[in-house]
Amino acid sequence: MEQISNEIPSSELGESKENPITPPVNKPWGIYLVAVWCFFGIGGFTNPLFKSLISSAQDSPQLVPVIGLLYIGGLLGLIVGTLKLNRFWLVLCALLMGLIGVFQLLSIVTFVLVGQVTIPMLVIKLFYAVPSCACAWYCARPSFLNMASNYTVYKKQVAMQKHVQKQLMRGNV
């Protein structure tokens, strides 16, 4: 009598025996807070820099829309890339947030050493420093970056499954 094996047949073409399908990965809710702070924190922090760049470029009127487009495109790219859990954008977000947080903390220390610290200025600096440092820590954690990589792989697999199902329904396979 023939034995029935419960093993999945392999093609012996050098494929690994690992499970090729990754388990579902949910997007963490904290990434939405990071994206909001990217808009308000980085957008608010870099807005004076953007305005000074625009005012210095008033001599060449064709350069002003290009600078504006690059600024808005970069900010939106950072927000969308962060929301998609793209590793490059997450690391860039962590780097920018970390720089903003460290800059604000150093400016607080500078004002304290000089003796020109006021309560409203301290509140505004801390308003930027604390969320920026928290977002930088959140995005730069190795466990979060690993989860983001797993999420990206899972989303690609889901997209491929949808594509194959669509092709099967059309009869193209």
- Express each pLDDT in 108-117 by its tens digit: 999 999 999 8
Residue scoring higher pLDDT (61 or 131):
131
**pTM (predicted TM-score):** 0.77
Q: Above pLDDT 70, what percent of the chain?
A: 87
Query: What letters, b where the CB count within 10 A reaches 16 and e where it falls short, cover 79-91?
Result: bebbeebbeebbe
Q: Over 50: is that where the pLDDT of 11 sits?
A: no
Rounded to the nearest integer, the mean pLDDT of the chain is 86
Q: What is the pLDDT of residue 7?
A: 55
| Domain spans in the chain, listed from the N-terminal domain onward | 30-140, 142-173
The pLDDT of residue 117: 86
For residue 23, the model assigns a pLDDT of 77
The span from the CA of 66 to the CA of 9, in Å, is 57
Q: What is the pLDDT of residue 54?
A: 84
